[in-house]
Structure 1
Amino acid sequence: MSTFKTLLLEVRDGVALLGLNRPDACNAIDETLRAELPIALARVRDDAAIRAVVLYGVGGHFCSGGDLRAMSAKPRTAFESRQRIRALHAWLPEWVNLEKPLIAAVDGAAFGGGFSLALTADFVLASTRASFCQVFARVGLVPDMAALYLLPRIVGLQRAKELALSARVVSAFEALQLGIVHSLYAPEALLDAAIAFARRFTQASPIALGLTKSILNQSMHLDQKALSELECFAQGLCMDSPYHQESVRGFLEGQAPAFAWPAPGAAAASHQPGDIP
């Protein structure tokens, strides 16, 4: 399925695997990768067979941020630099609000724009050797790729200021404590764990999950009345869906639900640190 120069894209049983594929540059974001990400986004968004997405980096690192070598090779005016960032925001909000569960599998470095890209995910699964850094201040820049919006909503305003202004490295274990990371895994187990996590969503209602994610993403800046209206609208759509009607029929007939968490057959007592919660 992949026809990209800097990305790998394949679909396995309803899960799209999107790999940042510039391992020689620690998957730094160059002009080609910038151009291909929104194309890949459109593909996974528009394919109804894709029910969840796993974003990962090839070669032991997630993403080291913007490719400074490539950027410095082409001097830009202040206006041109502004337009360059504005071009990112033509598609980043749609990536954040993709109405499908998005899981980032972070191994190695997630620095700068790579950290920001991880923050766009609904769940960040990380390896024990992962590290995160809002590195922008080290080179006299402000955080970009929506980090100024996403980071304080995840860790709180004061902690976001500390991470952005200090540009210090955050270990995988601290990122877990801060709420940036959902769960940790051994490096060799990370991608399989992320795929297994994503597969749990493939039996859920795509309408219900998409609308739930969309409304939750607006919940921090809308008032209660507006959110109530969105809730009413969304619930009406969901109640009219074949998925809901079939689920109710199955419930009344004593059938197990198609979507359950943890997955049917999973033994809760067997969970170990690093297993999928």
Structure 2
Amino acid sequence: MTASPEARRMVRLEVREQVATLTLDCPEKRNAFDLVLRDQLAEAVRTVRRDRDIRAVVLTGAGGHFCAGGDLRNIGSLQIDSGQWRERLGNVHEWLRDLLTLDRPVVAAVDGAAAGAGFSLALAADFVIATPRAWFAMSFIKVGLVPDVGAFYTLPRVVGVQRARELMLSGRDVRADEALRLGIVTELHAPEALLPRAWAIARSFTGASPTAVSLIKRALADGAPSLAQALDAEANAQTVAAGTPAHREAVAAFLDKRPLPFSWPSAA
């Protein structure tokens, strides 16, 4: 199913100063996934991927919640067979791969619920910042399902296999302070400061070497099953990065005692 042109916009894409903000905007359902929201998110991710002027992305939700997961009313009404389930997940995986392999940083700004597929979506970002009232849950098991939207790949890489097993099999809520301790969240901010901080982080990358950012993300996504392969990948990536104008400009700025093009923004 593809969203019609007349469908309500449930995903807003705004671009300012080379930063794209993707906002899930269906607050009456706590931004839960249905087919329309899914298709519009896929469209927005494709647009960002094509637009080389966009240097970083902020992913967030409207109305005090990030995303409450799949729309159970929508899921409960489906009459589909196993082949159609695979097709449905295949459609999700298409845009998810585009997001996970995006060669630019993605910052998830999480307030309220990030449950089920919403938790998985947050894990697709490079940085997750949250408010103290945010909560996360791999709640799939509560409705007889397994984690999806890439969680089998992303969650163990963040918290380790043992903790991922516990979170997936329990389906329990993880409050913001625990999410910070587990490394799911990197920073906590008051609700009114959340989006400004997410945007400041994303905006800082407009000064970073796009080649270095891309190489770092690719190396971490690919992983390395052996030390030899890891060192080989490192040598290949550094050879490419060292030949870029961005590297030469940063070195020149350092030697001239000028501000470097990229600097991580301090939190207020």
1:244-272 CA-to-partner distances (Å, cap 9, x unmatched) read: 122223333332312123x4xx6xxxxxx
Q: Distance in 2 between matches of 1:44 and 1:37?
A: 11
Check whether the contact 1:56–1:106 (CA below 8 A) recurs between aligned residues. yes
Aligned-pair distance for 1:191? 1.0
Aligned to 1:10: 14
Aligned to 2:245: 242
Q: Distance in 1 between matches of 2:231 and 2:46?
A: 30
Secondary structure of the corresponding residue to residue 105 of structure 1: strand
Structure 1 position 97 matched with structure 2 position 115: no
The match for 2:157 among 153, 160, 163 is 153
> Which stretches in structure 1 are left out of the alignment for 5+ residues?
267-274
Check whether the contact 1:7–1:36 (CA below 8 A) recurs between aligned residues. yes
Q: Distance in 2 between matches of 1:138 and 1:252?
A: 58
Aligned-pair distance for 1:4? 7.2
The 5 A counterparts of 1:1-277 are 5-219=9-223, 221-261=224-264, 263=265, 275=267
Aligned to 2:4: none
* Matched residue count: 262
* Percent identical: 48
**Cα RMSD (Å) of the superposition?**
1.7
Aligned-pair distance for 1:45? 1.8
Q: Distance in 2 between matches of 1:95 and 1:29?
A: 16
Secondary structure of the corresponding residue to residue 98 of structure 1: coil
Check whether the contact 2:46–2:98 (CA below 8 A) recurs between aligned residues. no
Which range moved further: 240-249 or 64-73?
240-249
Q: Distance in 2 between matches of 1:188 and 1:257?
A: 29
Check whether the contact 2:49–2:98 (CA below 8 A) recurs between aligned residues. no
Aligned to 1:269: none
Q: Distance in 2 between matches of 1:132 and 1:238?
A: 37
Q: Distance in 2 between matches of 1:253 and 1:176?
A: 39
1:93-151 CA-to-partner distances (Å, cap 9, x unmatched) read: 22112111110000000000000000011110001110111111111000111111111
> Which stretches in structure 2 are left out of the alignment for 5+ residues?
1-6
Q: Distance in 1 between matches of 2:115 and 2:174?
A: 10
Secondary structure of the corresponding residue to residue 49 of structure 1: coil
Q: Which amino acid aligns with 2:21?
A: L
Aligned-pair distance for 1:55? 0.2
Aligned to 1:272: none
Check whether the contact 2:46–2:95 (CA below 8 A) recurs between aligned residues. no
Q: Distance in 1 between matches of 2:42 and 2:234?
A: 29
TM-score (norm 1): 0.89
Secondary structure of the corresponding residue to residue 125 of structure 2: coil
1:219-248 CA-to-partner distances (Å, cap 9, x unmatched) read: 2x4323333333233222222222112222
Secondary structure of the corresponding residue to residue 200 of structure 1: helix
Q: Distance in 2 between matches of 1:92 and 1:178?
A: 24
Check whether the contact 1:4–1:36 (CA below 8 A) recurs between aligned residues. no
Check whether the contact 1:104–1:121 (CA below 8 A) recurs between aligned residues. yes
